[in-house]
């Protein structure tokens, strides 16, 4: 019996000794903690190494364009006002935005007093003509008896002078009548040219002084883009070159360079280029717009459009060096065609991220894959980041 008890006790001691020799439960926890640290490091490494596709610039003939900004303005704006002084505005026939033809009636002034002046001038002219006829008859009789002694030379001279004076009075009254008729014609305010009414200040019932502005007219409805171009680029622009204006929220509007300003602003160092625009409802006088001058074609380095980014107002690409590190690089856009863009500011052997560059920052480390890799790899990896 004692032997059996000792044997059980011995087994208990042996089991306890075995557990102690194995280190118990505490040593078993250490390998689990040790294996967790490499997993976190691997996840961090995976996050810091994105998968991207790169491409090098290709040399090809690309259209060269010069970007600029400026204001849309009227080609010529005519100010239409009253010529007659002190007359009341009786009627206004057009509104701002109306298209008018040359000679079209825009407004009328009260003409009752002017018509009375015309009638008075006509009566005075008739009186002067009658007096001139009588004086001319007397002069004819005096000439008939001249040299016969029937009339003195002084009397004959007076009659001839009276006839000339009467003719002068007729001419004066004719001029007065012409002035009165001209004043009557000025009661009708007409368009000086074909065009578009851009502003109206005429108010019915107002007494209008001579020279007061009543309407503004954009002659022939023509608009122009006054683009501000740096002085260094003015020499590249010539009259007759095509341009494309892109107004905010509207379609592109074609135009042609009419002339280049001969001077440069001393403050901004920009010169003004005047571009005639095709008629389009998308452009209005006074609006600010961007555009491009088409300068022809040239051999340039080009990239896919997806590689170009806009950051802080600059065109940039994400360049990858030999160590897989990303460097944000500013470039100058020379032109666009289809899905490619001509750029300046890159070396021919530069490697640029094709797509997904918006998810990258300067200094990021990436993993470059072959061109055959699907292009969605870069955005997907960046999204997981």
CATH number for the domain that contains residue 124: 1.10.287
Residue with token string 């016969």: 148
DSSP element (H, E) containing 326: strand 326-330
Asked, for residue 268, whether it belongs to a domain, the answer is yes
DSSP string, 283-298: --TT-EEEEEEEEEEE
Amino acid 379: pLDDT: 38
pLDDT by 10s per residue, the chain, length 385 = 444 444 444 433 333 344 333 344 444 444 444 444 445 444 444 445 688 899 999 988 877 788 899 999 999 999 999 999 989 999 999 999 999 999 999 999 999 999 999 999 999 999 999 999 999 998 888 888 777 777 788 888 888 899 999 999 999 999 999 999 999 999 999 999 999 999 999 999 999 999 899 999 999 999 999 999 999 899 999 999 999 998 877 788 999 999 999 999 999 999 999 999 998 888 999 999 999 998 888 888 899 999 999 998 899 999 999 888 999 999 988 777 778 888 889 999 999 999 888 888 888 888 888 653 334 333 333 333 3
Asked, for residue 30, whether it belongs to a domain, the answer is no
Q: How far is the C-alpha of 124 from the C-alpha of 360, rounded, in Å?
A: 93
DSSP element (H, E) containing 176: helix 153-185
Q: Could you give the 3-state DSSP secondary structure of residue 340? A: strand
CATH number at residue 375: 2.40.30.170
Cβ contacts of 258 within 8 Å, gap of 6 or more: 224, 239, 274, 275, 276
Q: How far is the C-alpha of 303 from the C-alpha of 305, rounded, in Å?
A: 6
Q: How far is the C-alpha of 211 from the C-alpha of 266, rounded, in Å?
A: 35
Amino acid 372: pLDDT: 37
156 with 286, same domain: the answer is: no
Residue 25: C-alpha distances to residues 12, 14, 18, 344 (Å) = 18, 17, 12, 67
Asked, for residue 358, whether it belongs to a domain, the answer is yes
Give how many domains the chain has, as a whole number.
3
Amino acid 34: pLDDT: 43
User: In this structure, what DSSP letter does residue 233 have?
Assistant: G
Amino acid 168: pLDDT: 95
Amino acid 155: pLDDT: 84
Cβ contacts of 189 within 8 Å, gap of 6 or more: 80, 81, 82, 105, 106, 107, 108, 109, 214, 215
Range of the domain at 69: 50-75+222-385
């Amino acid at each position: 019996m004692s032997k059996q008890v000792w044997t059980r006790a011995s087994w208990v001691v042996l089991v306890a000794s075995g557990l102690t020799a194995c280190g118990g439960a505490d040593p078993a926890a250490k390998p689990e903690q040790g294996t967790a640290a490499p997993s976190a490091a691997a996840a961090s490494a995976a996050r810091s190494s994105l998968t991207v596709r790169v491409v090098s610039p290709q040399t090809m003939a690309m259209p060269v364009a010069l970007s600029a900004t400026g204001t849309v303005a009227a080609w010529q704006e005519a100010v239409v006002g009253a010529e007659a002084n002190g007359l009341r505005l009786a009627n206004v026939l057009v509104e701002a935005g109306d298209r008018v033809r040359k000679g079209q009636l825009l407004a009328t002034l009260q003409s009752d007093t002017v018509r009375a002046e015309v009638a008075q001038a006509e009566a005075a002219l008739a009186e002067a003509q009658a007096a001139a006829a009588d004086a001319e008859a007397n002069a004819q009789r005096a000439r008939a008896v001249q040299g016969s002694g029937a009339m003195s030379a002084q009397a004959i001279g007076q009659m001839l002078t009276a006839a000339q004076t009467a003719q002068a009075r007729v001419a004066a009254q004719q001029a007065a009548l012409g002035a009165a008729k001209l004043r009557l014609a000025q009661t009708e305010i007409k368009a000086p040219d074909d065009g578009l009414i851009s502003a109206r200040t005429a108010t019915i019932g107002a007494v209008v002084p001579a020279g007061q502005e009543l309407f503004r007219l954009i002659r022939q409805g023509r608009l122009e883009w006054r683009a501000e171009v740096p002085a260094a680029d003015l020499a590249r622009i010539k009259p007759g070159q095509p341009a494309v204006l892109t107004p905010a929220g509207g379609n592109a509007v074609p135009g042609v360079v009419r002339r280049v300003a001969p001077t440069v602003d001393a403050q901004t160092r920009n010169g003004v280029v005047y571009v005639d625009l095709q008629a389009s409802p998308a452009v209005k006088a006074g609006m600010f717009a961007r555009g491009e001058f088409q300068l022809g074609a040239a051999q340039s380095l080009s990239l896919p459009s997806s590689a170009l980014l806009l950051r802080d107002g600059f065109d940039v690409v994400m360049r990858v060096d030999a160590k897989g590190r990303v460097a944000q690089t500013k470039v100058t856009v020379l032109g666009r065609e289809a899905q490619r863009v001509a750029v300046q500011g890159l070396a021919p052997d530069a490697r640029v991220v094709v797509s997904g560059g918006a998810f990258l920052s300067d200094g990021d480390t990436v993993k470059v894959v072959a061109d055959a890799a699907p292009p969605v790899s870069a955005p997907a990896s960046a999204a997981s980041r």
